[in-house]
Chain A
Amino acid sequence: KNEVEQSPQNLTAQEGEFITINCSYSVGISALHWLQQHPGGGIVSLFMLSSGKKKHGRLIATINIQEKHSSLHITASHPRDSAVYICAVVARRTDKLIFGTGTRLQVFP
């Protein structure tokens, strides 16, 4: 079983829809990252969380440390949001980043 699980694996949406991607993990962590990988392969870090909630533009990330769960929300989705979204956790007392398998999002006009 993967230490970091994401759901759904694939997601399609119409432009304007509200999107939620979930991440559950089974290890103790010191931080959690949400990453975006575009079709060309480049990876961009969206958020680093250790508690609570962060917002940047149309993106919101939350984390519940007790439940070992994080969500990434996209409000008013747009075709340019189409990408793979990856959850990755920093295992506690290490530098090791453990990656989820990613959620492939396609937003259609």
Chain B
Amino acid sequence: EPEVTQTPSHQVTQMGQEVILRCVPISNHLYFYWYRQILGQKVEFLVSFYNNEISEKSEIFDDQFSVERPDGSNFTLKIRSTKLEDSAMYFCASTGIGEKLFFGSGTQLSVL
């Protein structure tokens, strides 16, 4: 079965540093998403991306966050100046029209 791949699997960073989380969605998918899950809490929607632009974003997705699809295959989430409360598991997902979601295995971000 096709897979969504995420790198790195773990990222440790100092508060205030920039991080870029990378995702390779399934090749023929059109819709891309980032979600996060703080330890012990439910999964939260961050942003959806379609046709090379953001289609929806949550209140969490403030000016510190940005997404890009720089080369037609990668889909990145950038956090410009990380805060302690950004520590979470970040999941990328992709889907086609009328399909179920395919999730990556996540990037565990720890901000110290």
* A residues with CB within 8 A of B: 33, 35, 37, 41-48, 86, 88, 94-102
Contact = CB atoms under 8 A, between A and B. Distances in A.
B100 A33 contact: yes
Nearest to A46: B100
B74 to A, nearest CB: 20
A39 to B, nearest CB: 13
Contacts of B84: none
A97 B44 CA distance: 8
Contacts of B98: 48
Interface stretch (B11-19, B20-28, B101-109): B101-109
A88 B31 contact: no
Given A42-B105, A97-B45, A47 B56 contact: no
A97 B56 CA distance: 10
A7 B71 CA distance: 43
B54 to A, nearest CB: 10
A45 B43 contact: no
22 contacts: A33-B100, A33-B101, A35-B103, A41-B37, A41-B108, A42-B103, A43-B103, A43-B106, A45-B100, A45-B102, A47-B100, A48-B100, A86-B42, A95-B31, A95-B33, A95-B48, A95-B50, A96-B45, A96-B48, A96-B56, A97-B45, A101-B42
B55 interface: yes
B104 to A, nearest CB: 8
Contacts, number: 56
Nearest to B44: A99
Given A33-B101, A42-B103, A99 B43 contact: yes
B91 A43 contact: yes
Interface in B35-60: 35, 37, 42-45, 48, 50, 55-56, 58
Interface string B79-112: 0000000000101010000111111011010000
